[in-house]
């Protein structure tokens, strides 16, 4: 009987560490042209530090489901204003990209992040 309670406790503890059950990202083949440009912007600027299709961190947090949750990994609300501010001005260990991305690239990057 005690082993059942112990096994249940272990399984609940393990499940709690798995994070939220998020829907999968939009497949590349279904991305719009703008989202595909955003994907390329992500690959060129963000992928070295962030996984797009995982919540596990690399050098920064994984971004799967970024907009499908109420809050960003930082605790800020998950909205375009907060994500744009983080991209443009950086955050903690994240460098700023204000001088690296033009307005069109930023808009397309945000469009792509919405697909994750």
Query: What is the pLDDT, as a whole number, of residue 74?
Result: 85
Rounded to the nearest angstrom, the gap between the alpha carbon of residue 56 and the centroid of all alpha carbons in its chain is: 9
Q: What global pTM score does this model have? A: 0.80
pLDDT given for residue 20 in this prediction = 60
Q: What is the pLDDT of residues 11-44, one digit of tens each?
A: 433 444 455 677 789 999 999 999 999 999 999 9
- Sorted by where each starts, the structural domains of the chain and their CATH numbers stand as 28-113 (2.60.40.420)
User: Which residues are CB-contacts of 101 (< 8 A; sequence separation ≥ 6)?
Assistant: 41, 45, 87, 88, 109
Rounded mean pLDDT of the chain? 86
């Amino acid at each position: 009987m005690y082993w059942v309670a112990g096994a249940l406790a272990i399984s609940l503890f393990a499940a709690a560490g798995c994070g939220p059950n998020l829907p999968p990202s939009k497949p590349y083949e279904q991305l719009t042209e703008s989202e595909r440009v955003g994907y390329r912007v992500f690959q060129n600027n963000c992928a070295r530090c962030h996984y797009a299709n995982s919540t596990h961190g690399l050098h920064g947090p994984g971004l799967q489901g970024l907009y499908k949750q109420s809050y960003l990994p930082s605790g800020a609300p998950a909205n375009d204003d907060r994500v744009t501010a983080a991209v443009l001005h950086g955050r903690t260990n994240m460098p700023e990209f204000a001088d690296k991305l033009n307005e069109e690239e930023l808009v397309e990057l945000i469009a792509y992040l919405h697909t994750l």
